[in-house]
Structure 1
Amino acid sequence: MTRRAGAGLAAVAAWVGLLGGLAGCTEGGGSPVEIQLPGKPRAPQEAIRITPDDNAKGVPAEGPLSVSVPEGRLERVVVTKVEDAQQEEVPGSIAADGLSWSPDQAAGRLALAAKYTVDAVALDGHDRRQARHTTFTTFVPEDRFIGYFKPENRSTVGTGMIVSFNFNQSIKHKADVEKAITITADPATEVVGHWFGTERLDFRPKRYWQSGTKVTVRMNLRDVEGAPGSYGIQDKTITFTVGRSQISTVDAAEHTMEVRREGELVSTVPITAGAPKNTTYNGKMVVMELFDVTRMNGQTVGFGGEYDIPDVPHAMRLTSSGTFLHGNYWAHPDTFGSTNISHGCIGLRDDKGGGSDTPAGWFYDRTLVGDVVEVVNSQDKTVAPNNGLGGWNMSWADWVAGSART
């Protein structure tokens, strides 16, 4: 036997003796103490367990979403939503024992139709570092709804502006949809929603907006279920500013319109209202749209071929059904202030093509979407609250009763 071989055998004998001695040790005569030596590291999918599975599809918005390790501790977990070339991290935290990660409750549900990535780093029970990367995709709804809204973003409006949503589908879960739309004002004022049927939701304060109010409308409708299987798509914020107060009162019997700014009378304008057979609605109406020139065809609003005027100047829409306050160049000038001849609209004297120095031009140039025009002393009913932005014709109690949140 060589000297090197003898040394090797001696080392082996010593190691066997050490193991034998350890195995023979007992504590108080009990069972032998078991010694485990570091072995092969676990595979990444075993060392770091991630739910949902890698490449999972159709994951519900409720998850589950979790990361855990059977031993050792998690060092870092990053869950990221990747959508439209933008990335957003999902807030979450590692438990005190280091064995699990979960999303914060405030994070809410996962976004639908979105891809997520999960990146986790952990140390196993022997301080060996492992890393794992997975992806999953959430459920993609086949049906989506959107809400078309007034007023326009960053617009300046009159004090009677009502925030109005018209949905492209019937809404069954009204409370959820209404809750997802928040409206705040500075200075602060309470704003309440009111449903007209299943496709329209309007919001207004108890009284007209205060001049100078800044209003923010947040539409958190993304992934809100409006009806079984139909989810919202909008995640949008708009703002608008309330301008000066201008409220005009049309007296159909006196053939006049009094225009008040901040409560002060600034002008009394001669008008012509609806003829006895085609009277003008009574009540508070809000300017919805402004047209320098527009066509008015009686067939579009239930009349026959009684009129078709291609170039009506200075037209201001007051109702969805077709009531306008507009310039009139075809009637005799003596008509204004003395006779009601229209088919239900309110006419102001004007020139063909629209003149800025006419009564119609003067009023048009000083009007905002959201200004209030109230008609009194007409031989007609009060305009319906859902005909245009007519919600000011309802009492506050009736308005609040139409909210799905009350």
Structure 2
Amino acid sequence: MATGSRAPVVVGSRAVVTAQPVDGAQDVPPEGAVRVAVAQGRLVSVRLADGKGVEVPGAIAGDGASWVPDGALPLGTAFTLDSVAEDEQGQKAAQHSEFTTVARAHTFVAFFTPEDGSTVGVGMPVSLRFSRPIVDRAAVERAVQVSADPPVVVAAHWFGNQRVDFRPQQYWAAGTRVAVALRLKDVQGAPGEFGSQNRDVRFTVGRAQVSTVDLEAHTLTVRAGAGGKVVRVLKVSAGSAEHSTYRGVMVVSEKYQVTRMNSQTVGMGDEYDIKDVPHAMRLTASGTFVHGNYWANPGVFGSANTSHGCIGLADAKGGTGRDTPAGWLFEHTVPGDVVEVKGVSGDVVPPSNGLNGWNLSWEQWLAGSALR
């Protein structure tokens, strides 16, 4: 009697691998949508790669049960996802899928202050204004790194959903070099809204200059250097009782040798329209300036507050002179210089009105971070 042979029994792996998104998926979001999991086994390897074979780094969990990529995936890219797992007997199970990330999405960018390569005063924050409203503030905040040399702790504070500022606890030290790393590309700021920037911005803090305006004494005292040595005391005329000047810490954000000031743009009707205001230095977004004044009676400087809220100094028409009080201050001021306004009456400037977050305590500032 002839004897035969029985075919071997093939036992498959008990490991079950599942992957997200499903095979063939289109318009996959770049963050949070890709994941590999295994039941009754452990992952041995996972390879996520684009069409050119460039692999996306990721990490298998400590228990071997799952894998996720390390960060966001590029937009409009086709990927292959190959996973291998094994069960308790060492039997392997493989899974293959393909998908494509969303090809086109609404994008947002950050407009930054100060400018790259600039030299600024000790009060200049890093201020980012976004082109679209941000919902996931934590994700966007994590994508921005601000570092200083010499090192100092720098923290973020959100003013609404389209602006975030960064500053240290105290004014920057003179000579500090600040680096801003914007890594916003493909960061999801809101559903369907992705950043489009990877940019490095660097600026230097110049000499220290902090000026103090005394509304009652009608003076502006300029102090410079680490010890705050008085450099010059200038006579001013600030806001009248009907149009008081903001009190508090304000930072010069812009300078204009000559500019037009029209009361209609600040909600004051037809009060004034001066087409050639000289030596103007902006303190608030709402229109508070330190500027030259050639039209007022010279006797008001140092003796009376007569303006519509700005801080005026004696000047000549044209904005070209350097020997007038306003001309001298203009020549000795850079964006980021601090003007501290003190008085017994008048509102304190809102921190979001201009680059004036210094009016918040450090505890209040930290409370405005999405990561704290």
Q: TM-score normalised to the size of structure 2?
A: 0.78
Say which of 297, 302, 305 aligns to 1:340: 305
Say which of 237, 247, 254 aligns to 1:282: 247
Q: Would you say 1:222 and 2:185 are equivalent positions?
A: yes
Query: Structure 1 residue 315: deviation in Å?
Result: 0.5
What SS does the corresponding residue of 1:399 show, helix, strand or coil?
helix
- Following the alignment from structure 1 to structure 2, what is the Cα–Cα distance between the partners of residues 380 and 368? 26
Give the percent of matched residue pairs that are identical in Structure 1 and Structure 2: 51
What SS does the corresponding residue of 1:353 show, helix, strand or coil?
coil
Map of 1:150 onto structure 2: 113
What SS does the corresponding residue of 1:303 show, helix, strand or coil?
coil
Map of 1:401 onto structure 2: 367
Map of 2:329 onto structure 1: 363
- Following the alignment from structure 2 to structure 1, what is the Cα–Cα distance between the partners of residues 357 and 30? 37
1:36-63 CA distance string (max 9 Å, x none): xxxxxxxxxxxxxxx9989x85354257
Change beyond 3 A, Cα 1:336–1:136 = same
Query: Structure 1 residue 92: deviation in Å?
Result: 5.7
Gaps of 5+ in 1: 1-23, 35-50, 67-76, 83-87, 94-102, 119-134
Query: Structure 1 residue 187: deviation in Å?
Result: 0.6
Query: Structure 1 residue 109: deviation in Å?
Result: 2.7
Map of 2:343 onto structure 1: 377
Query: Structure 1 residue 146: deviation in Å?
Result: 2.0
- Following the alignment from structure 2 to structure 1, what is the Cα–Cα distance between the partners of residues 282 and 307? 15
Counterpart amino acid of residue 265 in structure 2: T
Q: Would you say 1:196 and 2:175 are equivalent positions?
A: no
Which shows bigger deviation, 233-242 or 344-353? 233-242
Contact 1:143 1:230 in 2 (8 A): yes
What SS does the corresponding residue of 1:299 show, helix, strand or coil?
helix
Moved over 6 A (4+): 51-54
Structural RMSD (CA): 3.0
1:39-88 CA distance string (max 9 Å, x none): xxxxxxxxxxxx9989x85354257699xxxxxxxxxx995689xxxxx9
Q: Would you say 1:61 and 2:38 are equivalent positions?
A: no
Map of 1:329 onto structure 2: 294
Say which of 51, 62, 75 aligns to 1:112: 75
Say which of 271, 275, 278 aligns to 1:310: 275
Change beyond 3 A, Cα 1:209–1:30 = farther
- Following the alignment from structure 2 to structure 1, what is the Cα–Cα distance between the partners of residues 74 and 360? 38
1:228-278 CA distance string (max 9 Å, x none): 222222211111111111000000110100000111110001111011111
- Following the alignment from structure 2 to structure 1, what is the Cα–Cα distance between the partners of residues 207 and 283? 19
Asked which structure has the greater CA Rg, the reply is 1
Counterpart amino acid of residue 58 in structure 1: D
What SS does the corresponding residue of 2:264 show, helix, strand or coil?
helix
Q: Would you say 1:390 and 2:356 are equivalent positions?
A: yes
Contact 2:260 2:275 in 1 (8 A): yes
Higher helix share: 1
Counterpart amino acid of residue 322 in structure 1: G
Contact 1:160 1:209 in 2 (8 A): yes
Gaps of 5+ in 2: 9-20, 37-46, 59-66, 81-97
Contact 1:141 1:230 in 2 (8 A): no
1:194-246 CA distance string (max 9 Å, x none): 11222221111100001111111111111111112222222111111111110
Contact 1:91 1:104 in 2 (8 A): no
Map of 2:63 onto structure 1: none
